[in-house]
Amino acid sequence: MKDFATLFTRIDESTKTTVKTAALADYFQTATPEDRLWTIALFTGRRPKRTITATRLREWAAEVAGLPDWLFEESYSIVGDLAETIALVLPPATESEDQTLTHWIRYIKTLSTLEDDERKAGILGAWNSLPNTERFLFTKLLTGGFRIGVSAKLITRALAQATGQPEPQLTHKLMGNWTPDTTTWEALIEADDPTADLSRPYPFYLAYQLDGFDDLGAPADWNAERKWDGIRGQLIIRGGEHHLWSRGEDLMTDRFPEFAQLRDYLPDGTVIDGEVLAFADEKPLSFNALQKRIGRKTVPKKLLTEAPVILMAYDLLEHEGKDIRDQPLKDRRAILETLTQATPPEAPFRLSASVPFQTWDDLSAARDQSRDLNAEGLMLKRRDSPYLSGRKRGDWWKWKIDPLTIDAVMIYAQAGHGRRANLFTDYTFAVRDGNDLVPFTKAYSGLTDAEFRQITAWVRKNTLQRFGPVRQVPAEHVFEIAFEGIQASPRHKSGVALRFPRMLRWRQDKPVDEANTLDDLKEMLATYG
């Protein structure tokens, strides 16, 4: 695993993408094909199955290091990463073994078939034969979650350098539900046909937020449609089967069984980009309705009737088995319209209608209706644009409505993890209720590093009480909290739950008695909930 450790170190030591890409490209040319494949898998979130619980690993590491459990936990809370903590506290290895990455992954897999004490011996033996970085990486393989600052984009760029294949083609090849157990480097990367796997999705085309109309040219060149507030999805109908992928490359087919019937109405060899929406009486329901269906692997009948879903179709990527992403949007939409007309109204399928407009002012007025329609804003797409992969500027823009905001008081702070270990970055916020403060949300993003440092220094000096890792602080600082939605929640003291809350601004100009109240929050719930 030495070469993998070298790769990791080169990536980890640099903040420059060119250096990271070069390191990966070198590795893709020199490592064994199996190791290359596993490396791609790990860096794109396809980690091996966990065979040992984190609890067991902590116990064993503390035991080997001769530390009481509480001291190990204390160390873990400072380091913020379990594998790193373990690698740091263990005594130096007394043996050495250089095996491939694939060897160690297989080694971990075989442990699952063993008894507890044999597994323990297996792990301790590995720890004792690997030097620091390799030991950290081995433990990372055990604990899962291999995030080290390498994006899928970077992987693709490095693969393009190493293989000479174009990036978009490689992006497509890396999509879908392959694992190193189901394919090979040869089949996945070297082979020509990216559609060999019937379930494989196309890379999603993502838009940037619109920053003005100046560079757009004539309004007539553009098609506008609603940006629906559901789950972006790609429906694939090939070989008599259907698959539904999320933007995060999660296979959601079983979660939304109603789409099975679309096989009867849409021709084989169809791939549609759309939005999965909770929908009733020809109107989208709020995201809250859809939320009940998210995270459920199977759906009870009752929920199917309470929160029925449809696919709101945006675009057609494949027609009659042919990749048509290079054709202009207007042509793709024309075919999509024909397909939509062939589906009966009871089918869970609608075309996302174009929003008519003559001027940008018209469009602005249309955007103002978004909240009433349960939409998050508008999408602007150039009529002659191809369907690109990934986030690209120029042809597609999203024009989201402004988030809801509320001024709240910080009352608790907690240290973050990983890059934010040792920094107080996770805060709990309250609104005023008479003389009381009622906590209603947590937030941990939106501030600059400098602001986080400043608040961290303040928290250290102003801790009132500690509850484990959580510190109570004086109610002195007001923050503007932005969020995308609000719903009633009996589980929370405040009676509400927010969607995607984050800190918009530290309101150092605002005294605590000008922060919003529980009544303000309830009013927002009544209006937008």
Partner 1 sequence: MADVLTFTDRGIYCPAGDFYIDPWRPVDRALITHGHSDHARPGMGRYLATTGTAPVMRHRLGDITLETIDYGQEKQIGDACVSFHPAGHVPGSAQIRVAVKGEVWVVSGDYKTVADGLSEPFEPVRCHAFITECTFGLPIFKWTPQNVLTQQINDWWTANAAAGRTSILGAYALGKAQRLLTTVNPDIGPILTHGAIENTNTVLRSQGFTLPKTTLVTKEISHKTHPGALVLATPSALGTTWARRFGPASTAFASGWMALRGVRRRRAADRGFIVSDHADWEGLNSAIKATGATKIFATHGYTSAFQKWLTSQGYDAHIVSTDYQGEGFDQADEVEA
Beta pairing class for 322-323 and 375-382: unpaired
Q: How far apart are CA 38 and CA 349, in angstroms?
A: 38
Are 21 and 154 in contact, with CB atoms under 8 Å apart? yes
Are 92 and 140 in contact, with CB atoms under 8 Å apart? no
Nearest CB to partner 1, comparing residues 85 and 234? 85
Q: Give Cα 174 distance to the centre of its chain.
A: 17
Annotation marks residue 120 as catalytic = no
User: Which candidate, 481, 448, 403, 401, places its Cα nearest to that of 210?
Assistant: 401
Give me the least distance between CB of 2 and partner 1, in Å please: 17
Give me the least distance between CB of 93 and partner 1, in Å please: 13
Q: Which of 39, 51, 85, 234 binds partner 1 (CB under 8 A)?
A: 85
Rounded to 5 degrees, φ, ψ at 410 are -80, 130
Nearest CB to partner 1, comparing residues 15 and 113? 15
89 makes contact with partner 1 (CB under 8 A)? yes
Q: Which of 31, 41, 44, 81 binds partner 1 (CB under 8 A)?
A: 81
Q: Which of 18, 70, 326, 402 binds partner 1 (CB under 8 A)?
A: 70
Q: Which of 30, 63, 69, 71 binds partner 1 (CB under 8 A)?
A: 71
Give me the least distance between CB of 28 and partner 1, in Å please: 22
Those residues whose C-beta lies under 8 Å from the C-beta of residue 436, and which sit 6 or more positions away, are none
Give me the least distance between CB of 232 and partner 1, in Å please: 30
Q: Which of 18, 55, 68, 358 binds partner 1 (CB under 8 A)?
A: 68
Beta pairing class for 404-415 and 424-433: antiparallel
217 makes contact with partner 1 (CB under 8 A)? no
423 makes contact with partner 1 (CB under 8 A)? yes
Q: How far apart are CA 517 and CA 513, in angstroms?
A: 9
The CB-based long-range contact list for 27-34 (8 Å cut-off, 24+ gap) reads 27/3, 27/158, 28/158, 28/159, 28/161, 28/162, 28/163, 29/162, 30/3, 31/3, 31/4, 31/101, 32/100, 32/102, 33/184, 33/185, 33/186, 34/100, 34/101, 34/102, 34/180, 34/185
Q: Which of residues 139-168 bind partner 1 (CB under 8 A)?
A: 149
Give the Cβ contact number of residue 280 at 10 Å.
14
Nearest CB to partner 1, comparing residues 125 and 149? 149
Nearest CB to partner 1, comparing residues 66 and 511? 66
452 makes contact with partner 1 (CB under 8 A)? yes
101 makes contact with partner 1 (CB under 8 A)? no
74 makes contact with partner 1 (CB under 8 A)? yes
Give me the least distance between CB of 132 and partner 1, in Å please: 10
Residue from 20, 120, 173, 227 carrying the catalytic annotation: 227
User: Which candidate, 480, 494, 479, 478, places its Cα nearest to that of 529?
Assistant: 494
Residues that bind partner 1 (CB under 8 A): 12-15, 65, 67-68, 70-72, 74-75, 78-81, 84-85, 88-89, 149, 415, 417-424, 449, 452-454, 456-457, 460
